[in-house]
Amino acid sequence: MSATHVRVRVGEEHYALPIEEVTEVSELPVRTPVPGAPSTVLGVASLRGQVIPVADLSAILGLGRSERPARMVVAQVGGQRAGLAVDAVTDVGFLPVASEPAGGRHLTGAALVEGDLVGLLAVGSVLDAIGGGRG
């Protein structure tokens, strides 16, 4: 994997996803609720004719939410694909190698970037937590 990542903000926290596991970034689309879905799932959305689950990254990571998510990062690992609702996409670019150990089950480590501690997301683990939108 490259050191290029998509950096996002969720509440006051900063996270990064490897660019190879991000297929697109967009405004948070209109979603259709799914009865019986986990509380982390905001619903499903049509993305160019394909239905994908949209999940709240804040809820997956166990963070409080201070604002409504405004953006969606579509992530894909293998056959799993889903939209992750985030507050903002802050940057796409180089991220240094993780200098801190992983602090949670959905993280592979953390790096200090411009004074902010940025958690490196284990995208496969995040997608597994929501069922991953197989197909």
Determine the Cα–Cα distance for residues 25 and 35; give it in Å rounded to an integer: 26
What ranges do the domains of the chain cover? 4-130
Our CA angle for 121, 60, 77, nearest 5°, is 45
pLDDT higher than 50, residue 13: yes
Give the CATH class of 4-130.
mainly beta
In tens, the pLDDT along 67-97 reads 789 999 999 999 999 999 999 999 999 998 8
What pLDDT shows up at residue 135? Answer: 45
Q: What is the pTM of this model?
A: 0.91
Note the residue count of the chain. Answer: 135
Q: What is the pLDDT of residues 109-128, one digit of tens each?
A: 999 988 889 999 999 999 99
Nearest alpha carbon to residue 124 among 82, 86, 69: 82
